């Protein structure tokens, strides 16, 4: 059992150097507590996606250790790794739905980590899991779309299906990599609102990479600024001024960043 007072996510001296020599992350030390809603901001190429992909080990880090609720995901293997990953849900910019499958089937895939592979191959989901999936769709107001094919929904609806999938997975942590980058402003707010709902009502810890400073300010409780693979700012949103955002995007040298234009 994991002890209580430890961070939900802990990075210790984490570096990532890609095979071509590009430095993705440089000696990152970071603690994120249970229930936080953290937004990660920075210019394109700063290392935000690298940070998220490292946390659930979609890619291996070059140095250091990452702990999820006290357990090292960096050194975990086999069943241990699968169990840690079950506690981490992902939301992607491109939604990552199975386009030709129904909404319900997509949401049910949130449960695959709880089944042996052969059962999910033959679609042998338990009745109670179908009920969970249905309830999750109700939470994002898509209960009327249960049998609709995923690719017949709008982008915003598809992202909310992805959120229902993550709710059905019932993870401790949600990593959202540019969840609204493909959506218009109004739809983006709806998606962020649903992520906030998972955070506030289900206690899930959220880490979201965001391009939009406006959305970051509206939904984040804590802001982490990344530049050139390093954390250049870490603070409560309520104590973070516009000047901090300007600095994160200006690269600290007075030059306008592209997202800030």
Contact set with ligand ATP (CB under 6 A): 18, 20, 22, 24, 42, 44-50
Element (DSSP H or E) covering residue 242: helix 242-250
- Residue 187 beta carbon to ligand ATP: minimum distance, rounded to whole angstroms: 20
Do 158 and 192 touch, CB atoms closer than 8 A?
no
- Residue 96 beta carbon to ligand ATP: minimum distance, rounded to whole angstroms: 16
- Residue 99 beta carbon to ligand ATP: minimum distance, rounded to whole angstroms: 23
Long-range Cβ contact pairs of 151-159 (< 8 A, separation 24 or more): 151/97, 151/99, 151/100, 153/103, 154/187, 155/95, 155/182, 155/183, 155/187, 156/183, 156/184, 156/187, 156/188, 156/190, 156/191, 158/95, 158/97, 159/91, 159/95, 159/183, 159/187, 159/191
Q: Which is nearer to ligand ATP, 106 or 180 (CB)?
A: 180
Q: Which is nearer to ligand ATP, 177 or 194 (CB)?
A: 177
> Quick one: which of 7, 47, 44 has its CA closest to 228?
47
Please state, as a whole number, how many other Cβ atoms lie within 10 Å of the Cβ of residue 60: 9
Alpha helices in 56-116 (DSSP H): 78-86, 103-108
- Residue 220 beta carbon to ligand ATP: minimum distance, rounded to whole angstroms: 16
- Residue 147 beta carbon to ligand ATP: minimum distance, rounded to whole angstroms: 34
Do 176 and 184 touch, CB atoms closer than 8 A?
no
Q: Is 12 helix (H, G, I), strand (E, B) or coil?
A: strand
- Residue 231 beta carbon to ligand ATP: minimum distance, rounded to whole angstroms: 12
- Residue 23 beta carbon to ligand ATP: minimum distance, rounded to whole angstroms: 7
Q: Which is nearer to ligand ATP, 60 or 239 (CB)?
A: 60
Phi-psi region of 204 (alpha: psi -120 to 50; beta: other; left: phi over 0): beta
Q: Which is nearer to ligand ATP, 23 or 112 (CB)?
A: 23
Q: Which is nearer to ligand ATP, 81 or 228 (CB)?
A: 228
The Cα–Cα gap between 242 and 229 comes to 22
Rg of the chain (C-alpha set): 18
Q: Which is nearer to ligand ATP, 47 or 156 (CB)?
A: 47
Q: Which is nearer to ligand ATP, 29 or 44 (CB)?
A: 44
């Amino acid at each position: 059992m994991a002890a209580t007072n430890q961070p939900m996510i802990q990075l210790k001296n984490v570096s990532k150097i890609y095979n071509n020599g590009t430095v993705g992350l440089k000696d990152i030390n970071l603690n994120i507590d249970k229930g936080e809603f953290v937004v990660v901001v920075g210019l394109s190429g700063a290392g935000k996606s690298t940070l998220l992909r490292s946390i659930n080990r979609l890619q291996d880090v070059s140095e250091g250790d990452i702990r999820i609720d006290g357990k090292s995901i960096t050194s975990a293997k086999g069943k241990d790794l699968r169990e840690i990953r079950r506690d981490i849900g992902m939301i992607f910019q491109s939604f990552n739905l199975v386009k030709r499958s129904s909404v319900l089937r997509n949401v049910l895939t949130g449960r695959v980590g709880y089944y042996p592979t052969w059962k999910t191959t033959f679609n042998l989901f338990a009745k109670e899991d179908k009920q969970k999936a249905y309830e999750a769709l109700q939470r994002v107001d898509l209960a009327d779309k249960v049998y609709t094919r995923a690719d017949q929904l709008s982008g915003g609806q598809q992202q909310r299906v992805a959120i229902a999938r993550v709710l059905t997975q019932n993870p401790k942590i949600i990593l959202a990599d540019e969840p609204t980058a493909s959506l218009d402003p109004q739809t983006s707010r709806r998606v962020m609102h649903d992520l906030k709902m998972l955070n506030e009502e289900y206690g899930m810890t959220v880490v979201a990479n965001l391009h939009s400073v406006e959305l970051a300010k509206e939904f984040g409780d804590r802001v982490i600024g990344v530049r050139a693979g390093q954390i250049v700012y870490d603070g409560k949103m309520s104590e973070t001024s516009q000047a901090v955002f300007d600095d994160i995007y200006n690269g600290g040298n007075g030059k306008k960043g592209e997202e800030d234009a």
